[in-house]
Structure 1
């Protein structure tokens, strides 16, 4: 069952009115209008007691048969569309699994992530899915930790993981490691990298250095740039003239790669490598210079099915991150089989050696709380992407 914080607040308000004298019949009608049941014939929340009790107060109604799960995502503001896409995907997961053991309430982090977390804890939720942004994770973490409520975030910032916070986002370093390893196995040994001057670029560069060393290759040069066309072209030209490089990583969006790659190849052909950022840009094959480039990402096979189902139900395409919402529910449903409602979430279950499966393939959490994902390597062609090294099906 999925509900929003607005529905929860409306319920609390009406419940207090009931204690002031409203009849049970009127309240039952209001509940029927507010509840969303994941499958036909499924259970609904129990009606409020006919007589006031000492422990009645604002918040969610008593529910002893289902697990209380909070979903913290932006529902308003600049990231509302992404948050709504994730929330809708959790609804699809509830419907697809036909689970009757979860009750998911959505809280809007755009109104304040800390306030959303405090309300989620006060409402008795035992697990938090989200938030999306790393700064929101930082605000939520101490509140959740004090209440012994683990956080399963959609962020890809490894810096916020640990001490009760697990991150499910696509970490760029893993994509870099995968494509460098594959490239080395294909005979490339002298590597260069082109990275933007931002957090993503810094982390990609660090992962690149480690991956080249791990592969036994030679790191020739790393060039960085700010986000101007002039700086990008200048950095690409410096890298093209840096020496004998046979493979270059471009850790940036597909659009910037299209501008940089012709310059990189001006001093001789090189194998172009990319990250998961290219996975959502189907137009890359339109650039002749990009054809033959390799990049590593999660598999898109099952995501296509999710996207089709999403469009059929909600009338629009989902954001790519919607899969994280869907998979977080699949994970929770699996753990819920051995989790008694009302008790603390069994955090140790998140460390299962065989990991978890979902729309984005298999993954498991390391001891820092970072989701380690099985990635595939794809090649860009004129007609789109072609998988040239599939993701492992098991660990």
Structure 2
């Protein structure tokens, strides 16, 4: 807990971010207050995110590693484009961000980025890519701020901005307990994510004082889901956490409503649900609660993105935008030509971004302020706003 000043600081920072972001939504010429003619303005426009070796020597070089080709290219290009928007929106006076494609190999991309003089790496996207880049970055003493949420790759100068299921589960379980839920069951997928979700549910329920009725594993097929739900038993439980995508959860929820134990259970979800733009159309999830980062500023970012690039961004695009905001804030105290001041990443006051306030804790995982949302008919409603400070 803080002494009361910290929440106000974070709230103030978040408010300033919102104002700055909204200012960035304006047409650039409208921000100029100098009288015409415009030809007297000699200042060059800020550099965008580029590929290849930067030529200027007056800005800190920062590498962005993202998959621009391959199966994850849509997500990677969204992240890179959003980073470009952040550079332009903040003026780009102190940093130069260069994007490197990890589609042909993350380690090779990192080696090229370091050889070209970048002092900080943003990305890559996947945990296996972070593992490949980690020794390359460590050998060059270059810190890494990745977009994965796999805690096993964090630490040793690697920080992660991804949305951790542990935080989302703890938030929604605690909220449900505060609304009278005293027993909870879990349906989790086989694999690493399911293992993390199971552990998070047990810990969150224990911390809240909620009884865990049962946790069952399934392989995402309807037959496996039906068998797992049957194993949950016929004794009623107050809530059912379905730790999977919204589409899988919707199918499982239909089956759960036919089960004795889950007939009247409140459905709970994870941060994965927030990536589905069609979530509000899934009638079987109506009334369900899930925790996620706030979408308020993201909607503005998505609107600007569609205007600029002609398509909708991935929900993960905000990671690219917020990582540039983070570096921009630190760059004010980053001496030109020196190593990146890594200690600033551990600032207790945290950072503000499109996804709200966040900070890197002892585990080097982004600790986020999450809100609880409810799936309603055709809309998603915020039932418990995110705290404004840590």
Query: Could you state the TM-score of these two structures normalised by the residue count of structure 1?
Result: 0.84
Match in the other structure for 2:44: 41
Deviations 1:295-341 (A, max 9, x none): 00000000000000001001111011100000000000000000012
Uncovered stretches (5+) of structure 2, i.e. residues with no partner: 1-41
Q: Distance in 1 between matches of 2:47 and 2:215?
A: 58
Q: 2:315 matched to 1:320?
A: yes
Q: 2:43 matched to 1:76?
A: no
Q: 2:268 matched to 1:273?
A: yes
**Selected match of 1:262 from 237, 254, 262:** 254
Aligned pairs (5 A) from 1:262-301: 262-266=254-258, 267=260, 268-301=263-296
Aligned pairs (5 A) from 1:200-211: 200-211=193-204
Aligned pairs (5 A) from 1:303-318: 303-318=298-313
Q: 2:240, 2:265 within 8 Å by CA — same for their partners in 1?
A: yes
SS in 2 for 1:111: coil
Give the number of aligned pairs. Answer: 343
Q: 2:192 matched to 1:189?
A: no
SS in 2 for 1:252: coil
The structure having more radius of gyration, on CA atoms, is: 1
* Deviation of the 1:62 alpha carbon: 6.0
Q: Distance in 2 between matches of 1:78 and 1:112?
A: 13
Go from structure 1 to structure 2 and tell me whether the alpha carbon gap of 1:149 and 1:210 turns closer, same or farther (over 3 Å shift). same
SS in 1 for 2:351: coil
SS in 1 for 2:114: helix
**Selected match of 1:368 from 355, 363, 368:** 363
Q: 1:42, 1:100 within 8 Å by CA — same for their partners in 2?
A: no
Match in the other structure for 2:335: 340
Q: 1:273, 1:294 within 8 Å by CA — same for their partners in 2?
A: yes
SS in 1 for 2:103: helix
SS in 2 for 1:393: coil
Match in the other structure for 1:50: none
* Deviation of the 1:184 alpha carbon: 0.5
Q: Distance in 2 between matches of 1:147 and 1:287?
A: 48
RMSD between aligned residues: 1.7
Q: 2:47, 2:88 within 8 Å by CA — same for their partners in 1?
A: no
Go from structure 1 to structure 2 and tell me whether the alpha carbon gap of 1:291 and 1:307 turns closer, same or farther (over 3 Å shift). same
Q: 2:138 matched to 1:135?
A: no
Go from structure 1 to structure 2 and tell me whether the alpha carbon gap of 1:212 and 1:164 turns closer, same or farther (over 3 Å shift). same
* Larger relative contact order, structure 1 or 2 (CA cutoff 8 Å, min sep 6): 2
Match in the other structure for 2:115: 122
Q: Distance in 2 between matches of 1:145 and 1:236?
A: 46
* Deviation of the 1:44 alpha carbon: 7.2
Deviations 1:169-189 (A, max 9, x none): 011111100000000011111
Match in the other structure for 1:252: 244
Q: Distance in 1 between matches of 2:153 and 2:247?
A: 29
Go from structure 1 to structure 2 and tell me whether the alpha carbon gap of 1:75 and 1:362 turns closer, same or farther (over 3 Å shift). same
Q: 1:155, 1:169 within 8 Å by CA — same for their partners in 2?
A: yes
Q: 1:233, 1:259 within 8 Å by CA — same for their partners in 2?
A: no
Q: 2:372, 2:385 within 8 Å by CA — same for their partners in 1?
A: yes
Match in the other structure for 2:381: 386
The range that moved more, 279-288 or 179-188, is 279-288
Go from structure 1 to structure 2 and tell me whether the alpha carbon gap of 1:62 and 1:341 turns closer, same or farther (over 3 Å shift). farther
* Deviation of the 1:243 alpha carbon: 2.2
Query: Could you state the TM-score of these two structures normalised by the residue count of structure 2?
Result: 0.85
Q: 1:117, 1:140 within 8 Å by CA — same for their partners in 2?
A: yes
The range that moved more, 140-149 or 265-274, is 265-274
Go from structure 1 to structure 2 and tell me whether the alpha carbon gap of 1:316 and 1:288 turns closer, same or farther (over 3 Å shift). closer
Uncovered stretches (5+) of structure 1, i.e. residues with no partner: 1-38, 46-58
SS in 2 for 1:341: coil
Q: Distance in 1 between matches of 2:229 and 2:365?
A: 32
SS in 1 for 2:149: coil
Aligned pairs (5 A) from 1:97-112: 97-112=90-105
Aligned pairs (5 A) from 1:145-164: 145-164=138-157
Q: Distance in 1 between matches of 2:375 and 2:47?
A: 49
Q: 1:64, 1:341 within 8 Å by CA — same for their partners in 2?
A: no
